[in-house]
């Protein structure tokens, strides 16, 4: 089974690129973040035509928005809310065989890495704290689960272009990294991407729009993640970061798809 995750940064504007991903990678399940549309405007038709007849969509006007599109039936669709908000940032559904897929868009956190000065950063930290408490209280590590999405944190030294220069930049500050690590420890989550790319090699999924030449500068960050619970770890058979998608014309997302394969 092949699962793709992608912060598409508007599913309506980039429908053609989503269809290109489908043609080129043929994922069974696609998890999108930042769809940026209400559910009534989500382009279900062209996706259903290509076999993605099962969809769990949770969007809002203009911001956020997550979706799980699947060729395989989806059971137990759920919406999860955090920080007493109605943001569309986390949904889940179960695949045949009982594998539960969680699709998460974690708050970016703004620019200033101080929760006293910046309420967006405070929101990000609270979101993490609430999830750290939620998983062990609501799910067992024995359950086969996949957690994907834009977590807006690059935890490892080589998840950013310069560890030293990024230590004070939101997405790579020690407080965020500690909380993401604690989140990973809740159920013994396995970092699927790093199963296939050693920790000492650079690995990015996002490059800023604000660079003159993103590829030449290559100042990326690994903000997007695929985690699995221990029962699924032996099934991991591959993981691919579709770096070339950062150059897809006419208008690429600033994030690229991450694709993971699970053996039957």
Residue 118 makes contact with DNA by CB under 7 A: no
Nearest-approach distance from CB 147 to DNA, in angstroms: 19
Residue 152 makes contact with DNA by CB under 7 A: yes
Which residues contact residue 210 at a Cβ distance below 8 angstroms, ignoring those fewer than 6 apart?
none
Decide: 25 and 50 in contact? Cβ < 8 Å: no
Residue 136 makes contact with DNA by CB under 7 A: no
Q: Which two tokens stand for residue 69?
A: 């599109």
263 CB-side CA count, 13 A? 7
Q: Which of these segments, 48-56, 58-66, 175-183, 191-199, binds DNA (CB under 7 A)?
A: 58-66
DSSP states of 222-254:
--EEEEE-GGGGGGEEEEEE-GGGGG-SS---S
Distance CA 94, CA 212 (A): 42
Q: Considering only residues 165 through 204, tell me which ones interact with DNA, judged by CB under 7 A.
A: none
Nearest-approach distance from CB 255 to DNA, in angstroms: 9
Residue 12 makes contact with DNA by CB under 7 A: yes
Nearest-approach distance from CB 72 to DNA, in angstroms: 28
Nearest-approach distance from CB 110 to DNA, in angstroms: 6
Residue 126 makes contact with DNA by CB under 7 A: no
Q: Residues touching DNA: how many (CB under 7 A)?
A: 18
Residue 229 makes contact with DNA by CB under 7 A: no
Q: Considering only residues 62 through 91, tell me which ones interact with DNA, judged by CB under 7 A.
A: 62-64
Distance CA 152, CA 149 (A): 9
Residue 210 makes contact with DNA by CB under 7 A: yes
Interface residue with DNA, options 20, 26, 61, 85 (CB under 7 A) = 61
Decide: 37 and 19 in contact? Cβ < 8 Å: no
Decide: 172 and 156 in contact? Cβ < 8 Å: no
Nearest-approach distance from CB 14 to DNA, in angstroms: 7
- Residue of 77, 57, 72, 108 lying closest to 221 (CA atoms): 108
Q: Under the rule (CB under 7 A), what is the footprint of DNA?
A: 9-10, 12-13, 36-37, 61-64, 107-108, 110, 120, 152, 209-210, 251
């Amino acid at each position: 089974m092949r699962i793709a995750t992608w912060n598409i940064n508007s599913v309506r504007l980039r429908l053609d690129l989503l269809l290109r991903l489908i043609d080129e990678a043929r994922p069974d399940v696609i998890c999108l973040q930042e769809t940026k549309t209400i559910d009534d405007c989500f382009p279900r038709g062209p996706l259903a035509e290509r076999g993605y007849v099962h969809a769990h969509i949770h969007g809002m006007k203009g911001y956020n928005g997550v979706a799980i599109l699947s060729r395989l039936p989806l059971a137990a669709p759920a919406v999860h809310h955090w920080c007493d908000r109605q943001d569309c940032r986390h949904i889940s559904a179960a695949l045949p065989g009982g594998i539960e897929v969680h699709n998460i868009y974690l708050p970016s956190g703004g620019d200033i890495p101080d929760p006293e000065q910046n309420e967006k950063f405070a929101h990000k930290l609270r979101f993490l704290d609430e999830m750290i408490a939620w998983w062990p209280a609501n799910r067992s590590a024995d359950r086969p689960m996949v957690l994907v999405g834009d977590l807006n944190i690059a935890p490892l030294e080589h998840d950013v272009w310069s560890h030293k220069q990024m230590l004070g930049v939101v997405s790579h500050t020690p407080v965020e990294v500690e909380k993401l690590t604690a989140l990973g420890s809740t159920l013994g989550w396995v970092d699927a991407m790093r199963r296939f790319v050693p920790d000492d090699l650079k690995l990015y999924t996002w490059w800023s729009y604000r660079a003159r030449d993103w590829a030449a500068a290559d100042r990326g960050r690994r903000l997007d993640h695929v985690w699995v619970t221990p029962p699924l770890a032996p099934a991991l058979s591959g993981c691919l970061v579709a770096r070339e998608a950062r150059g897809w014309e006419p208008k690429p997302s600033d994030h690229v798809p991450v694709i993971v394969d699970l053996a039957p």
